[in-house]
Structure 1
Amino acid sequence: MTPPLGRTLCAMITPFTPTGALDLDGAQHLADRLVTHGCDGLVLSGTTGESPTTTDAEKSSLVKAVRQAVGARATIVAGVGTPDTAHTARLAREAEKAGADALLVVAPYYSRPPQDAIEAHFLTLAETTGLPLALYDIPSRTGVRIEPDTLLRLAEHPRIKAVKDCSYDFLAAQKVMSRTDLAYYAGCDEHNLALYAVGAAGCVSTVANVVPGHVRAVLDAFDTGETARAAHLQQQVTPLVEAMMSNGLPGTVTAKALLAALNLPAGPLRPPLRPADRKTAVGLRAVYDGLTTA
């Protein structure tokens, strides 16, 4: 099966200027670098892209700018999820107009709706545009699961095509993959190879912001039957995954700290997020240097 969104996707950060404005030139530069170095898909305005603190107009402008930069070389998946079905539908229509190829829709957060309401939310959005939907299951942030039985029902809709899985429920993921045609994408970098090995379509990686080629190489090796090499490459990147994703800071913070250290577009974070302190930034760079010289 050809992955509907690509195979190696980056959950791209949203660059800002030193004054905190949207940096479209920086976004284009970063997007081009990511695609040139191995990503065949970009997720914009997701968790890593600081979607809670970017405006609707900024989200649309970002899609347009990145589309111009990468052309048809990569799939653009626009994050449009909010806790408000009507607002999400407006964002979906704007993303379609701006040139997105697909939509990433997180489970409605904060209000903690029951499963029948979550299902109705996604079905409404599937009818809002002609774009395929990727459902984003990340209960640690939303407070609600998209339960496996709900996913089994939603898979019957022709425009619900994929799942970005941050559930940490490996059994549930395999259950849904075995019973549907939904394309699963690992949304947690430590699961990239493991989920791929049991049938996932690929990954949506935060770590790919800084090492896109390495993230892709893991999946490339597996595809060519070099499973030991794939495991070795995943083990090589594990210290960077841990440093970026498991040190008590959001991946957005650590990704921007590393990108800044590499003189790549990043810029400040929007409050309430705050930049990594100097000690953390130096530690991240040391782990990165250890990977790139391995």
Structure 2
Amino acid sequence: MTKPSRPPASPTAALPDPAPASAPAFGRALCAMVTPFTGSGGLDLDGAQRLADRLVSAGCDGLVLSGTTGESPTTSDAEKAELVRAVREAVGERASIVTGVGTFDTRHTTQLTSDAEKAGADGVLVVAPYYSLPPQDALEAHFREVADASGLPVMLYDIPGRTGVRIEPDTLIRLAEHPRIVAVKDCSADFLGAQKVLARTALAYYAGCDEHNLALYAVGAAGYVSTVANVAPERMRAVLDAFDAGDTAEAARLQRGTAELVESMMASGLPGAVTAKALLGDLGLPAGPVRAPLRPADRATVAGLRAAHDRLTT
């Protein structure tokens, strides 16, 4: 998958032109896919295949498995590899597959990276180690060791609200020198920092918060990794399509139109895995329950999610 061509940014005396990307991006419209489970809580590989096929057919050109929305803290190493193999079988080469391998343990993360390569992933998503709060030099060493563990390109995942530690822009700029560190999923809410990295590196930047999809894309990001795309893949992609067609007013209108569903799913006090699975289930699509310690959404929440979904998509 290659990043759509964009007009080059105007050079400035202060900033060098970024070097050409050493590896292709993973596409524009990526879905942070839920991990479907059976009613008894086991991995639902058939459901995962059906959901993946639907998402790709609806315009997702990449799937991110075993991330936050994929409930990665509660799936086993074997389940993560099984999920990659099943989704690859379902979508073939129609979409890129990036799988989450990040843990708080560098050795464990490198092993998961090797497993992902063997399972057929196109890339790995590596979150900053959580709980231990490593300083920036330790964080940089961690990511470099993971990137050296396989031949797969790496998407760094900056989500300090969950990990407790930020991948600082200057750290990202240094890490961009590594030939296999090629992308960032950005949930930092630091728009200035994102632009600093975009100006000084060839990293493919992906909005990790759906409300930022258009804003980051407009300043040169590669696209998004979207939780809301689980339930409205066509509408999320339409924003990027309108922008690429040169209709920036329509892109803005479409982005604003997603705000109610984005707020319902991502700012309701419940994790996106809970709201996405609740809405998918109400739509009759593969999802199943969440795993503890998460708990399912209540009936009133599901009704509100469905109403917001239907207002957006009908």
- Aligned partners of 1:126, 1:56: CA distance in 2, in Å? 18
Given that 2:206 and 2:224 are in contact with CA atoms closer than 8 Å, whether structure 1 keeps it comes out as: yes
Q: How does 1:1-294 map to 2 (within 5 A)?
A: 2-3=2-3, 4-293=25-314
- For 1:116, give the aligned amino acid: D
SS at match of 2:182: strand
- Aligned partners of 1:257, 1:126: CA distance in 2, in Å? 35
- Aligned partners of 2:278, 2:248: CA distance in 1, in Å? 32
1:138 offset after TM fit, Å? Answer: 0.3
Identity %: 74
- Aligned partners of 1:116, 1:289: CA distance in 2, in Å? 47
1:128 offset after TM fit, Å? Answer: 0.4
- For 1:241, give the aligned amino acid: V
Counterpart of 2:20?
A: none
- Aligned partners of 1:286, 1:222: CA distance in 2, in Å? 27
- For 1:160, give the aligned amino acid: I
TM-score by length of 2: 0.93
Given that 2:56 and 2:91 are in contact with CA atoms closer than 8 Å, whether structure 1 keeps it comes out as: yes
- Aligned partners of 1:60, 1:137: CA distance in 2, in Å? 23
- For 1:102, give the aligned amino acid: G
- Aligned partners of 1:208, 1:70: CA distance in 2, in Å? 17
Given that 2:235 and 2:313 are in contact with CA atoms closer than 8 Å, whether structure 1 keeps it comes out as: no
- Aligned partners of 1:292, 1:108: CA distance in 2, in Å? 37
Gaps of 5+ in 2: 4-24
The Cα offsets for residues 221-270 of structure 1, whole Å up to 9 and x where unpaired, read as 00010111111111111100000000000000000010000000010110
The Cα offsets for residues 188-222 of structure 1, whole Å up to 9 and x where unpaired, read as 00000000000000000000000001111100000
- Aligned partners of 1:151, 1:43: CA distance in 2, in Å? 21
1:2 offset after TM fit, Å? Answer: 3.1
1:71 offset after TM fit, Å? Answer: 0.1
1:68 offset after TM fit, Å? Answer: 0.1
- Aligned partners of 1:89, 1:255: CA distance in 2, in Å? 29
- For 1:98, give the aligned amino acid: A
1:292 offset after TM fit, Å? Answer: 1.4
- Aligned partners of 2:310, 2:213: CA distance in 1, in Å? 21
Given that 2:61 and 2:96 are in contact with CA atoms closer than 8 Å, whether structure 1 keeps it comes out as: yes
The Cα offsets for residues 5-49 of structure 1, whole Å up to 9 and x where unpaired, read as 110000000000000000000000000000000000000000000
- Aligned partners of 1:114, 1:186: CA distance in 2, in Å? 24
The Cα offsets for residues 62-102 of structure 1, whole Å up to 9 and x where unpaired, read as 00000000000000001000000000011000000000000
- Aligned partners of 2:233, 2:149: CA distance in 1, in Å? 33
- For 2:90, give the aligned amino acid: A
Give the ranges of 4+ consecutive aligned residues of structure 1 lying more than 6 Å apart after TM superposition.
Answer: none
Given that 2:103 and 2:109 are in contact with CA atoms closer than 8 Å, whether structure 1 keeps it comes out as: yes
- Aligned partners of 1:199, 1:2: CA distance in 2, in Å? 14
- Aligned partners of 2:287, 2:277: CA distance in 1, in Å? 5
Gaps of 5+ in 1: none
C-alpha root-mean-square deviation of aligned residues, in Å? Answer: 0.8
SS at match of 1:150: helix
TM-score by length of 1: 0.99
- Aligned partners of 1:236, 1:156: CA distance in 2, in Å? 38
